[in-house]
Amino acid sequence: MDDSNEQQQEQHEEEGALIQEARVWQGQGWTARVIKNDDDEGWAVAMIKDGEPEPALVGPWTMGRDKKNPKPLDISAFHTLVKTANEVLRRHEQQLHARLHKNVRVTTDDGPVTVKLDIVPDEDDAYAVLSAVDQYGDELASVRVRPDFKLSPTSASDWIEDGFRKPR
């Protein structure tokens, strides 16, 4: 038996206690559940990460040969669904990171300065930290600002020219 077959066999043994049925399949930290599609007469599959209350992904599911019931889940389809769901989560995390952490680079008489805006989300007291770093990575200034502060090359330059005083 080659390494990939051995790994698959070990995985099957590890997942042996998990549900692996036509409409529910568990493994790799996920549960795939085939459900009736509320939008039409077809079927959907919901991918739920272990410990999470809501699905990370819900998508259409193929009809079976009888054109009434859903196609049964199997190991191959499940692996594809896990890969897709993980990618959806990864993209969501990247988008969230991009929304919360921004930076612009501006040129000053003393060289390039990178101005960063790091938003700290909090239901009660959200805020952001505006900081400036020189070309060597040394922090020049850091101030707390409103979470809706608009970072742009212009606002960064204005902040630097104002001696790094807290923007209004």
pLDDT of residue 8: 47
Domain boundaries, the chain: 3-98, 109-161
The answer, as to whether pTM is greater than 0.85, is no
Sequence-distant (≥ 6) Cβ neighbours of residue 50 within 8 angstroms: 29, 30, 31
pLDDT of residue 10: 52
Tens-of-pLDDT digits for all 168 residues of the chain?
Answer: 445 444 544 554 454 578 999 999 999 999 999 999 877 778 999 999 999 999 999 999 999 888 888 999 999 999 999 999 999 999 999 999 999 999 999 999 999 999 999 999 888 899 999 999 999 999 999 999 999 999 999 999 999 999 999 998
Sequence-distant (≥ 6) Cβ neighbours of residue 134 within 8 angstroms: 110, 111, 112, 113, 140
Residues 45, 58 contacting (CB under 8 angstroms): yes
pLDDT of residue 122: 86
Helix (H, G, I), strand (E, B) or coil at 126: coil
By CB atoms closer than 10 A (0-12, 13-18, 19+), residue 107 is exposed
